[in-house]
Chain A
Amino acid sequence: MAEQLGLRPQGHPWLKPVRYRASWRPGHDAWGRKEGEPILPAVGDFFRVEGTEVHEVAVGPVHAGVIEPGHFRFQCHGERVFHLEIALGFQHRGVEESLLGGPHRQTTARIETLAGDTTIGHATAFSQAVEALSGASAPPRAQAIRGVALELERLANHTGDLGALAGDVGFLPTASFCGRLRGDFLNLTALLCGNRFGRGLVRPGGTLVDLDDALVAELGRRLEEAMKDLRGAAGLLFGAATVLARFEGTGRVDPATAEALGLVGPAARACGVDQDVRRDHPTGIWRFVHVPVMTAYDGDVNGRAFVRWLEAQRSYDFVKAQLATLPKGAVRAAARPIRPEHVAVSLVEGWRGEVCHVAVTDADGRFSRYKVVDPSFHNWMGLAMALRNEEISDFPLCNKSFNLSYCGHDL
């Protein structure tokens, strides 16, 4: 609100912009920046620890790997991290602004690329919001297909994460297997709709594609094969003493901190926080089918890795069961006009955690405000807290265990 509308909260100890952009209301800037003055990300004061033995390490925004840009500032004493400050905002595209006056022809494309790896999650949240605003609802078959797509997205990403975690600790077998298996799961989504990330599948009112029996059989067969290999790869990972020695106790977030920060998704469940939108606020297929909520209790890298593995197994069970009992009927309901002056809140448990979309319509039934909260928005602070009193050399591992989206945060 401070960035977009220039509102300045009273008594804020240290107000820093989350996104670096000019205010939507000319002349109102929460930081008193002049109009036309360039606003650059990660420029400004950082928290500093003073002392002769404390040193500062700055990483990014350009990284050694091919990843998104973000700036990390460590205050270190030798190898020990006292404080980590994360400065994002390099990926800000102005998505929320571009959605105003919608839905229009580009809206779904924008929604599906909010965070490319959460395409289904965001598209489902958007569709649910529009359906709520227009009073339409997706047919049962479409809801089941959406659920299958969402869980396939979870499977693919959790598999990729397990592989990336293995790669970070130099554990080759799982890293290599999971790299391929992630592709196999993405290909299942491609089989479903023609796009590996599920673009063009979920739309307000239902889905754009339907499955025939041959496709369902093929999906089931390939899912079975990929899952068999994933079981092997995960077994190797969690069976290796050297890997567990590296995972356990690294980057611990205690449950109280997790609750106070409002962490979501596997990062929260790894701390023992029992929350899952699929159970707590069920929509669509989740009102009829319950997926057990998986939690761990250590809140360390091992917890986050293991919760991912458990969730991948539950997702597999779900997809398998759904493919066997897909409801019959149409996959898309007729569109209805969006009601004016309404507000809709839509929640979806994406693979990274709770995806929240809020839409407010004006007198013409157009979006007067559209707000998106990606799970990454909640969890970046969790990463900063996980690094407290850890070794700086463990940062990449902790970072990978959260695996947060930069563009989902920066929007």
Chain B
Amino acid sequence: MIHIVVHVLLVLALPPLLTGVIARTKAAFAGRNGPPLLQGYYDLARLFRKGSILPEGSGWVFLAGPVAGVAAPLFASLLLPFGGHTAPVSFAGDMILFAYVLALSRFFTAAAALDTGSAFEGMGAAREVAFSCLAEPALFFGFVALARISGSLSLSQMLGTGPGWVTAGAPLVLVAASWAIVLLAENCRIPFDDPNTHLELTMIHEVMVLDHGGPAFGLVLYGASVKLFVLSALFLRVVFPFNVTDPRLDWIAFVAGILLVALSIGVVESVMARLRLVKVPQLLVGACVLSAFGMLLLAR
């Protein structure tokens, strides 16, 4: 019971810290001090105190986007084991629900973007949907490989296969590489998207939420950080599927691992430029191929 409480508290409270860690890492590479680590929380507090303006002609769909953007990743996190602890909700086939709950939030974000009727936002929605079509198979091929290694269809068992690195190291490396790409792509990080750009024509995710302001934009930011947290936890559990014996230490190891993932994202963002938009699908197809080969290696 206590672990469920910790699980929920972590996923509610920790995500904005990740964006702070990424920002500080990038600042360190650029020779700047950077924003405070807790800037994400300050931003949310500021946004939630604001009023909001709705674009003319938009309806409930416009507000459903940010709400689904927070609700879906929070719900998905319940299906995911954090560290060595089992997930609060777990059943055979929950990975499919996990993937499609995340897809649901994307659907609502894209629908909210289209609801504004703006040319930019339609363009962003088209890009986001096209790219996630390619990211999804990479995720699923990885799931199949993990299911095959663990002999289970539930995330809690699939992701706890420490011995998998001994018996099926090669497929796991491929899946981890593929999911690292998916992690960056799904969270709109460099090299796929630049979360800090102000250039609306180059944006993918950011352009879809241009018209959201105040609390709605706060929800968008919070939802994005929760999604980053959830996918980082998923990725972390593939790379580090071992259980620390002491449950308290295990939580600490988990939090440290998540922060390390955020740090690595910051490093990646600091040392490389964005891809040209036409190259993004190619890299995502590459991610698919990686995890598909991971799956094939196990299919003998």
A residues at B contact (CB < 8 Å): 55-59, 64-65, 79, 166, 168-173, 175-177, 240, 242-243, 245-246, 250, 391-397
Q: What CA separation (Å) do A175 and B273 show in the bound complex?
A: 11
Q: Which of B26, B120, B273 contacts A169 (CB 8 A)?
A: B273
Q: Cβ of A171: which chain B residues have Cβ within 8 Å of it?
A: 272-273
> A245 touching B270 by the CB < 8 A rule?
no
> A172 touching B26 by the CB < 8 A rule?
yes
Q: B202 at the A/B interface (Cβ < 8 Å)?
A: yes
Q: Cβ of A79: which chain B residues have Cβ within 8 Å of it?
A: 127, 277-278
Q: What CA separation (Å) do A250 and B273 show in the bound complex?
A: 15
Closest to B189 in A: A170
Q: Which of B123, B201, B273, B277 contacts A170 (CB 8 A)?
A: B273
Q: What CA separation (Å) do A64 and B200 show in the bound complex?
A: 7
Assuming the contacts A64-B199, A65-B198, A396-B201, asked whether A173 and B270 have C-beta atoms less than 8 A apart, the reply is: yes
> A393 touching B273 by the CB < 8 A rule?
no
Q: What CA separation (Å) do A57 and B100 show in the bound complex?
A: 32
Q: Which B residues, 243 to 294, have Cβ-Cβ distances below 8 Å to chain A? A: 269-279
Q: Cβ of A172: which chain B residues have Cβ within 8 Å of it?
A: 26, 29-30, 269-270
Q: Distance in Å from the Cβ of A90 to the closest Cβ of chain B?
A: 18
Q: What CA separation (Å) do A65 and B197 show in the bound complex?
A: 9
Q: What CA separation (Å) do A245 and B273 show in the bound complex?
A: 9
Contact mask for chain B residues 189-233; partner A; CB cutoff 8 A; 1 contact, 0 none: 011001011111110000000100000000000000000000000
Q: Distance in Å from the Cβ of B122 to the closest Cβ of chain A?
A: 8
Q: What CA separation (Å) do A176 and B269 show in the bound complex?
A: 13
Q: Cβ of A397: which chain B residues have Cβ within 8 Å of it?
A: 202
Closest to A64 in B: B198
Closest to A237 in B: B273
> B119 touching A173 by the CB < 8 A rule?
no
Q: Which of B32, B120, B275 contacts A246 (CB 8 A)?
A: B275
> B201 touching A393 by the CB < 8 A rule?
yes
Closest to B190 in A: A170
Closest to A74 in B: B201
Q: Which of B29, B199, B269, B275 has the most CB of A within 10 A?
A: B199
Q: Cβ of A59: which chain B residues have Cβ within 8 Å of it?
A: 200-201
> B276 touching A250 by the CB < 8 A rule?
yes
Q: Cβ of B120: which chain A residues have Cβ within 8 Å of it?
A: 57
Q: B57 at the A/B interface (Cβ < 8 Å)?
A: no
Q: What CA separation (Å) do A55 and B118 show in the bound complex?
A: 12
Q: What CA separation (Å) do A169 and B119 show in the bound complex?
A: 23
Q: Which of A57, A170, A394 contacts B197 (CB 8 A)?
A: A170
> A245 touching B200 by the CB < 8 A rule?
no
Q: What CA separation (Å) do A283 and B110 show in the bound complex?
A: 59
Q: Cβ of A240: which chain B residues have Cβ within 8 Å of it?
A: 271-273
Assuming the contacts A176-B32, A393-B277, asked whether A242 and B272 have C-beta atoms less than 8 A apart, the reply is: yes
Number of interface residues of B (CB under 8 A): 31
Closest to A391 in B: B277
Assuming the contacts A65-B198, A396-B202, asked whether A57 and B123 have C-beta atoms less than 8 A apart, the reply is: yes
Contact mask for chain B residues 100-139; partner A; CB cutoff 8 A; 1 contact, 0 none: 0000000000000000000110010001000000000000
Q: B51 at the A/B interface (Cβ < 8 Å)?
A: no
Assuming the contacts A57-B120, A170-B197, A396-B202, asked whether A177 and B31 have C-beta atoms less than 8 A apart, the reply is: yes
Q: Which of B120, B198, B201, B269 has the most CB of A within 10 A?
A: B201
Known: A166-B273, A171-B273. 13 other contacts (CB 8 A): A56-B119, A57-B120, A79-B277, A170-B190, A170-B273, A170-B274, A176-B32, A242-B273, A391-B276, A391-B278, A393-B201, A393-B276, A396-B201
Q: What CA separation (Å) do A79 and B26 show in the bound complex?
A: 30
> B276 touching A395 by the CB < 8 A rule?
no
Closest to B195 in A: A170
Closest to A392 in B: B201
> A246 touching B276 by the CB < 8 A rule?
yes
> A170 touching B200 by the CB < 8 A rule?
no
Q: Which B residues, 149 to 199, have Cβ-Cβ distances below 8 Å to chain A? A: 190-191, 194, 196-199
Q: Cβ of B32: which chain A residues have Cβ within 8 Å of it?
A: 176
Q: Cβ of A395: which chain B residues have Cβ within 8 Å of it?
A: 201-202
Q: Cβ of A168: which chain B residues have Cβ within 8 Å of it?
A: 197, 199, 202
> B274 touching A169 by the CB < 8 A rule?
yes
Q: Cβ of B275: which chain A residues have Cβ within 8 Å of it?
A: 242, 245-246
Q: Which B residues, 65 to 85, have Cβ-Cβ distances below 8 Å to chain A? A: none
Q: Distance in Å from the Cβ of A143 to the closest Cβ of chain B?
A: 38
Q: Which of A169, A243, A393 has the most CB of B within 10 A?
A: A393
Q: What CA separation (Å) do A214 and B271 show in the bound complex?
A: 41
Closest to A250 in B: B276
16 contacts between A and B (CB under 8 A): A57-B119, A57-B120, A168-B199, A169-B273, A170-B196, A170-B272, A172-B30, A172-B269, A176-B32, A240-B272, A242-B272, A242-B273, A245-B273, A392-B123, A394-B202, A395-B202
Q: Which B residues, 15 to 45, have Cβ-Cβ distances below 8 Å to chain A? A: 26, 29-32
Q: Distance in Å from the Cβ of A83 to the closest Cβ of chain B?
A: 15
Q: Which of A55, A65, A173, A392 contacts B29 (CB 8 A)?
A: A173
Q: Cβ of B277: which chain A residues have Cβ within 8 Å of it?
A: 79, 391, 393-394
Closest to A167 in B: B197
Q: Cβ of B127: which chain A residues have Cβ within 8 Å of it?
A: 79
Q: Distance in Å from the Cβ of B299 to the closest Cβ of chain A?
A: 34
Q: Cβ of B190: which chain A residues have Cβ within 8 Å of it?
A: 170
> B276 touching A173 by the CB < 8 A rule?
no
Closest to B277 in A: A393
Q: Distance in Å from the Cβ of A411 to the closest Cβ of chain B?
A: 27
Closest to A81 in B: B201
> B276 touching A394 by the CB < 8 A rule?
yes
Q: Distance in Å from the Cβ of B221 to the closest Cβ of chain A?
A: 17
The 3 closest A-B pairs by CB, nearest first: A176-B30, A396-B199, A169-B273
> B199 touching A65 by the CB < 8 A rule?
yes
Q: Distance in Å from the Cβ of A340 to the closest Cβ of chain B?
A: 52
Q: Distance in Å from the Cβ of B125 to the closest Cβ of chain A?
A: 13
Q: What CA separation (Å) do A243 and B275 show in the bound complex?
A: 8
Q: Cβ of B276: which chain A residues have Cβ within 8 Å of it?
A: 245-246, 250, 391, 393-394
Q: Distance in Å from the Cβ of B195 to the closest Cβ of chain A?
A: 9
Closest to A79 in B: B277
Closest to A169 in B: B273
Q: Cβ of A245: which chain B residues have Cβ within 8 Å of it?
A: 273, 275-276, 279
